[in-house]
Amino acid sequence: MSLLVTGSIGIDTVTTPHGSADDVLGGSAIYFSFAATFFSPVRLVGVVGEDFPDAFRDVLTRREINTLGLETRTGSKTFRWTGKFVGDMNEAETVGVDLNVLAEAGPKVPAAFADSRIVFLANTHPALQRELLAQVNAPKLTVCDTMDLWIENERDELLKTLGMVDGVIINDAEARQLTGVYNLVEVGRQLLSCGPKFAVIKKGEHGAMLISADGATAIPAYPTDNVKDPTGAGDSFAGGMLGYLAESDDFSPASLKRAIVRGTICSSFTIEGFSLNRVLETTRDDINTRVAQFTRMLRID
Amino acid sequence: MSLLVTGSIGIDTVTTPHGSADDVLGGSAIYFSFAATFFSPVRLVGVVGEDFPDAFRDVLTRREINTLGLETRTGSKTFRWTGKFVGDMNEAETVGVDLNVLAEAGPKVPAAFADSRIVFLANTHPALQRELLAQVNAPKLTVCDTMDLWIENERDELLKTLGMVDGVIINDAEARQLTGVYNLVEVGRQLLSCGPKFAVIKKGEHGAMLISADGATAIPAYPTDNVKDPTGAGDSFAGGMLGYLAESDDFSPASLKRAIVRGTICSSFTIEGFSLNRVLETTRDDINTRVAQFTRMLRID
């Protein structure tokens, strides 16, 4: 089942207590795509500048990522993010952002992608999320993410977007900010009242919670002390989750739960290295092995 | 298998956003005992003052709690705690503490309890924990809890106690304070290096992590929006866990995991009411039903 992602593609510079990586491939759509392609091909929609390195394009060819929707805009520069994680590495501290091409007009969904069945709208302006969504004909499953900036400044636009998607994947702090309540079961219920049929609340090192008409399901994170760089963990989670749903073509509550486990495991690999370093050396077998181990961990006999 | 608990028995006054309860039965050994007796009889060792209400003694008779080790000290007053939970109710704010009888000599383990096979040393001065432990002949399983006060002021005494127990059940903030590291897998490993064969790190609304020679196991909390009063959640968790181990007489890794699930469910009932109100109207069937539901939630098919 075809899976389309729209989101940022960037050049990151990241420092953590374990080292740093300068001018590496990053962005929400990138982390999503590399996780999703463990399970399903991905159609990538995003825009970069003329300065986007050829080496990064080469990396994209190492997976089943269709780059027909990757626009290289003449005269523009690629989005850049510089951040650091300190101490417990629980939150990224943004040192600098150059929106560059992301401050211009959004990308277009190529006509060949209009038949996509699953669409993930990674974080961007909620009006642009809807504009992109409108370019897909009859998606079977649509899911979005968002961020504090839009919750604060574009609340009405964001609520309109939430009213049009089947699911939302959002982190706990932002979900609490949006709904104004603390308890995550109640947060999830309020998210559903905005339109989505399911909400997945990401809790970082504490895992994730799924809320749907069936109730609340809590899944812990994969326990590890091997965390080099948390950049992209949330987008890898979403990528693994939707990649699995694209592969399985089953959106039942049991399948959503299996998908969350895949997302959890994908992000557990992402954080073991800087940028995509660890993900690029990970195989589907590695994923399967860790999924099986995690599933056993959660099995109460 | 006989289960003994030593810890505080108190008169609590608690305020939460959902109301308040004045002069109600509380204390670590109490919450532990009421949870544990869903699974196994409990031998209670603790000390109260002359003012300990008869009504509270009556409550104790409603469960299989052997009060032979409950000393009522003439001329002394019962421990009192006044606290409040505000906002997200994630942390208790102590408004007032009257140690009273807890500032005097500790209780004694009755000779009839010296053959206890499982011993839980709820939080108290670590030297007193060892003194109590020395009064039990050949326990098969010994587990302790502790608190920030002893970590800060009686570190060496605490390390001696940790060197003598089979397991430790401790909350995340205190475990991090004790070990000086943040990552909970690493925290757990450092706890094991102090002596215990297993460590259970309680994470409140985020569940618990078990660390043993077998590795790390993360179990989420029972997802609920029905939280009236979190007082006693951690002690109910320990009570449910050790009560189950006493019932099963099996301390294998798989049994420890099942025990953590029972602890999780016991505390999920405790927090649904003030003091023991909700626990007192809970049946073993209620526990079993919620355990089955939680086990299904964690089952990834």
Residue A229 to chain B, least CA–CA distance (Å): 14
> Within a domain: residue A78?
yes
> Within a domain: residue A200?
no
CATH number of the domain to which B15 belongs: 3.40.1190.20
Between positions 173 and 212 of A, the ones with CB within 8 A of B are 182-186, 189, 203, 205-207, 209
Token representation of residue B177: 């304070």
Q: How many domains does chain A have?
A: 1
With beta carbons less than 8 A apart as the criterion, state whether B211 and B203 touch: no
Inter-CA distances, A136 with A72, A110, A117, B96, Å: 21, 9, 8, 61
What confidence tens digit (pLDDT) does each residue in B169-195 have?
Answer: 999 999 999 999 999 999 999 999 999
Neighbours of B289 (CB within 10 A): 12
Q: Which pLDDT does position A250 carry in this prediction?
A: 97
> Within a domain: residue A65?
yes
> Within a domain: residue A59?
yes
Inter-CA distances, A93 with A86, A98, A150, B165, Å: 8, 15, 18, 41
> Within a domain: residue A195?
no
Residue B77 to chain A, least CA–CA distance (Å): 38
> Within a domain: residue A160?
yes
pLDDT higher than threshold 90 for residue B89: no
Q: Which pLDDT does position B232 carry in this prediction?
A: 96
Residue A184 to chain B, least CA–CA distance (Å): 8
Q: Quote the domain boundaries for residue A138.
A: 3-165+229-296
Search chain A and give the residue with CA nearest B206. A206
Does B224 lie at the interface with A, CB-CB under 8 angstroms? yes
Q: Which pLDDT does position B100 carry in this prediction?
A: 95
Q: Which pLDDT does position A90 carry in this prediction?
A: 78
Residues of chain B with pLDDT > 90, as a percent, come to: 96
- Cβ distance of B300 and A298 shorter than 8 Å: yes
Secondary structure letter of residue B237 according to DSSP: H
Grouped pLDDT means (10 residues each) for chain A, 301 residues: 96 95 97 98 98 97 97 97 88 90 95 98 95 97 95 96 98 96 96 98 97 96 96 97 98 96 98 97 98 98 89
Q: Which pLDDT does position A35 carry in this prediction?
A: 98
Mean pLDDT estimate for chain B: 96
pLDDT higher than threshold 90 for residue B128: yes
The answer to ipTM > 0.90 is yes
- Cβ distance of A206 and B206 shorter than 8 Å: yes
The residue among B226, B297, B301 with the most chain A CBs within 10 A of its CB, best to mutate, is B297
How far apart CA A195 and CA A166 sit, in angstroms, is 7
pLDDT average, residue stretch B204-215: 96
Residue A197 to chain B, least CA–CA distance (Å): 18
pLDDT average, residue stretch B110-120: 98
Q: How confident is the model at residue B4 (pLDDT cuts 50, 70, 90)?
A: very high
Search chain A and give the residue with CA nearest B215. A223
What confidence tens digit (pLDDT) does each residue in B258-272 have?
Answer: 999 999 999 999 999
Classify B160 as helix, strand or coil: helix
- Cβ distance of A220 and B227 shorter than 8 Å: no
What region, left, alpha or beta, does residue B181 occupy, with left being phi > 0 and alpha being psi -120 to 50 degrees?
beta
